[in-house]
Structure 1
Amino acid sequence: MQFGTFQTLNGNNSHARYKVVAYASDALMQDQLIRTASAIPDSLIVGDLVDSNGALASSPVDIAYVVVEPAKAGSAAFVAASPEHTILSLAGVEFGSLDKSLAQAQLATLGFTFTDYDTVALRTT
């Protein structure tokens, strides 16, 4: 990262965890494996906001998870960030067509905290 802009990894950083994870307090507990009842409809990249079924969230209230490892369409599970152990970088979240402020509010409701390139946010408790 240089001056707040992510530098791509071999031309593509959609598979790199550092894109969205700014800080993790526990290297093991920062992830959660989410198993879905049916196949994931679309391939997911790091930073995607998805609903409880692994589909891309169509509205901010549908957001249940933030993807931290790529997953292929048809998979029955994906890896998401744990809100208790992870601080997200807003620059790496894939908001798509979602309203950024409403999506950020939903993520905060889920327990996430945020940082950006010009902000330091470390948990003290």
Structure 2
Amino acid sequence: MKFMLTMSGPISACEKMMKLTQAEIGAHIRFMLDLNAELKRTGEFVLAEGLDFPPQAVIVKATRPDAPTISDGPFAETKEFLAGFWIVDVASRERALAIAAKASTAPGAGGKPMAIPIEVRQVMSAPAIDG
């Protein structure tokens, strides 16, 4: 069973991350790399990526592929942002939830667990279509 675990938070969390010391950022990144290594050892790792901060985002809207409207971030209407994600291939929903719980404890300021909200959603396969 594949699941996508998305790590998101309020825009204020982005501002807090930017105030972390180099040592705190290093501890946070080491935690994520260690989690990824653990998932690789267990054969559950598919993909994981961190995403850039909201001000670097763009939104593309189009009614035709050759005439897009591109808007630069940050976006005033956005209250939360997607910080990163994992795709895991696990035996059960419970295992996906356990991985999400561990990811949520990534260290932040002073090494304290950040309690990052992690949304867990099963990756679905498209149904077969005729034609």
User: TM-score, structure 2 length as denominator?
Assistant: 0.28
TM-score, length-scaled by structure 1: 0.28
Flag the structure with larger Rg. 2
> Higher relative contact order at CA 8 Å, sep ≥6: structure 1 or structure 2?
2
More helix per residue = 2
